[in-house]
Amino acid sequence: MSSNPVILHLRAETKPLEHRAALTPTTTKQLIDAGFKIYVEESSQSTFKSEEYEKVGATIVPEGSWKSAPKERIIIGLKELPENETFPLIHEHIQFAHCYKNQGGWQDVLRRFPEGHGTLYDLEFLENDQGRRVAAFGYYAGFAGAAIGVSDWAFKQTHPDSENLPGVTAYPNEDELIADVKKDLAAALEKNGGKYPTALVIGALGRCGSGAVDLFKKVGIPEENVLKWDLKETAPGGPFKEIVENDIFVNCIYLSQPIPPFVNYETLNVPDRKLRTIVDVSADTTNVHNPVPVYTIATVFNDPTVPVETSAGPKLSVCSIDHLPSLLPREASEFFSRDLLPSLLQLPQRDTAPVWVRAKQLFDKHVARLS
């Protein structure tokens, strides 16, 4: 690499209701202080205002201007590029691309990079020397998912089965989300004689699971009401009757290998089932290894739950939103960007820095698979 400063260009997110950002004003300042040049696109969706970036020294440019930006800029974003765009990509890109696990259309996504002699550094596969992701949104995925789980359970205590939990929108901060969930919970407790829900979290020791456990604690659910499971508890193999014996089930495990399901229709279709709400944070709707195979659609913020078609027991719903951290875009972005920063600071040495070398090797490996 030359001694010229690394130039990062933060593109505006285009996925509907995506309010997060890969760089925050905090990390932008730290990068500029380290000698980076940062361009930030105006964004109609971001939780951060252009002025916040401008104030720390970034140059503000129009939304979508990355497409015609000089080749030496590294384009950084979060979510995948729009599917309807097919032009070759000439830049180095840092983003979640969702094209390394044989996802539908992966070849079309990936092909754009070699066609334009561009490079993809996929955020999902930026790993440290121990093979652990350097940055992930897992904590706030679990936190937000558990919040929707509590609100859905509470809604069922106060509303008829014919009604589903109404849509939710992004919160400016964690405190406001907690206040709303506490309000929902209080209304339910008043209705049911003060009986708090019980919850079971699978993957409780990971980033995502700890977020779910923290949410339950912050809204006032007694600790003894929250069952924390991880590899040890799931080792015998499902289905697990304990899931249907709790009010809320939060799945925080992503699986790439087949295992017996955690829950299935046979375990759900019992008259004495307590379970009312499933939050599948992993949202592996199309994954054949999905350990929660009782729903088929990914839900969205403006319609956060879908009923499970059971033949016995009370109404049961699933929340399977695949970008849950967007419910708390500011905190989630700060958390993620802070963890990503040490790797970004190594970009001047990306030809030799292990985290970037591995990401480039993975890109080359998958490009070679293109037919």
* Closest alpha carbon to 186 in 158, 225, 149: 158
- The answer to whether 94 touches 121, Cβ cutoff 8 Å, is yes
**CA gyration radius, the chain:** 22
CA pair distance 358, 110, nearest whole angstrom = 17
Beta bridge partners of 299: none
Please give the structure tokens belonging to residue 277: 């709400």
Which of 98, 182, 274, 360 does the annotation list as catalytic? 98
Q: Determine the distance from the C-alpha atom of residue 40 to the mean position of all C-alpha atoms in its chain, rounded to a whole number.
A: 23
- Beta strands 317-319 and 59-61 are unpaired
Output the CA–CA distances (angstroms, integers) from residue 52 to 173, 202, 278, in the order listed.
17, 38, 38
Which of 79, 93, 156, 323 does the annotation list as catalytic? 79
Does 98 qualify as catalytic in the annotation? yes
Does 79 qualify as catalytic in the annotation? yes
Catalytic positions: 79, 98
